[in-house]
Amino acid sequence: MTQRILLITSSLFGEGGQSRALAESFKAALAGHDVELTERDVVEQALPHLTGAEMTSWMTDPAERSAEQTELARHSDALLAEIEANDVLVLAVPLYNLGIPSQLKAWFDRILRAGKTFQYTANGPVGLLEGKSGLILAARGGMYAGSDMDSQTPHLKHMLGLIGIKEVHTIYAEGLNMGDERKQQSLKEARQAIAQYVESRF
C-alpha cells in the first residue's frame, strides 16, 4: 500500500541549509519505495503571522463567512486538507535561537485548530488526526539533544501530540558549526539513520 508523505522544510537558507540537506537525504533514501511525496517549503511559501481576524474566520460557519473571512480561512483549510491526506509528516527543522523558524510556527498556527485537528475534553485536549506518524530531522550548529537547552524537540513533539501524532521519531545532525570534521561525521551519521528509518518504515 502506497504511503503518502508530507515533507515540510523550513530553512532560511533554502538549498544551502543543513536541515534542507537532511531533507534531500530523506528524499534520496525513498528511491525505489512505494511512496507518494508532497513537499512544502514554509519559507519559500511563507504564511503571514496569525491575526485575530483570521482566527475568527475559522470560528465562523463557512456559510456565514464574509468574502474577507473566506479568503482568510483559505490558508488554514488548504493546509489542513494537505496534512489530513498524508500518512507521515516529516519536518526538516533548523534550530534558530533555541526555537523553530517563525515561518514554521506560522504553519503550525494554521493546523492546530480546535474542532478540526484536536478537541477539548474533560480530560484535556484530544488529537483528531489518528493513525499518522512523524519524523523530525533536526539540524543544529551546537550540541543540544538531551540537554536542558533543547527546548525545540519537546515543543515540536507537544504540538504534534496535540493533533494526535504520538509516534514521532527524531534524527539529529548536531555540532555542524563545530569544525568541518565534526560536521561531516554528524551528517554522515544522520544520513545513515535516515536510510535505516526509511528501510524500516517503507
DSSP string, 105-127: HHHHHHH--BTTTEEEETTEEEE
Report yes or no: 103 and 50 within 8 Å, Cβ to Cβ. Answer: no
151 is in an annotated binding site: no
- Tell me how far apart the alpha carbons of residues 113 and 8 are, in angstroms, rounded to a whole number: 18
The amino acid sitting at 144 is: Y
CA distance 159 to 106: 13
Annotated binding site for FMN: 11
Annotated binding site: 11
